């Protein structure tokens, strides 16, 4: 049976506290955790890797880490209230582990046009 995992895609809100920990333009994904905290993974491409120059590439990288439980320092457990004040939900990413593929769906109408997503 093919198991599909789903996570939310986020964008940093202007002035939110998570902006101190997550670089502008990062691909950010997350999902609620059973203990009440949200698990957030992010990829800012601070080393300018060619494969991560697109926003979708950064989202896919963060999603793979989340779904495959890949060790990284680019993750945070945060209170849902911090998620609400710091992140804007803009879409969904679905991971199919058998196909090793991500399907990214972003709703442009939900994005903050003033945010720096494409550095």
pLDDT band at 10 (very low <50, low <70, confident <90, very high): very high
Instruction: Answer whether residue 117 shows pLDDT above 80.
Output: no
For residue range 27-37, list pLDDT tens digits in order.
Answer: 999 987 777 88
CA distance 25 to 35: 28
pLDDT band at 13 (very low <50, low <70, confident <90, very high): very high
The domain segmentation of the chain, as residue ranges, is 5-107
Count Cβ atoms below 10 Å from residue 47 Cβ, excluding itself: 6
Mean pLDDT over residues 57-66, rounded? 95
- What was the pLDDT predicted at 42? 97
- What was the pLDDT predicted at 100? 83
Describe the strand order of the beta sheet including 75-78 as a list of residue ranges.
Answer: 75-78, 38-43, 27-32, 5-12, 87-96, 101-106
7-16, 23-32, 73-82, 93-102 — which is least confidently predicted?
93-102
């Amino acid at each position: 049976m093919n198991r599909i995992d789903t996570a939310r895609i986020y964008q940093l809100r202007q002035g939110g506290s998570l902006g101190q920990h997550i670089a502008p333009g990062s691909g950010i994904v997350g999902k609620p955790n059973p203990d009440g905290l949200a698990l957030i993974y992010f990829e800012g491409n601070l080393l300018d890797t060619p494969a991560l120059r697109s926003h979708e590439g950064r989202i896919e990288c963060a999603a793979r880490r989340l779904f495959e439980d890949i060790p990284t320092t680019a993750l945070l457990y945060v209170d849902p209230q911090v998620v609400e004040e710091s992140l804007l939900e803009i879409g969904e990413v679905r991971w199919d582990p058998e196909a090793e593929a991500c399907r990214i769906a972003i709703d442009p109408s939900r994005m903050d046009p003033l945010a720096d997503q494409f550095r």
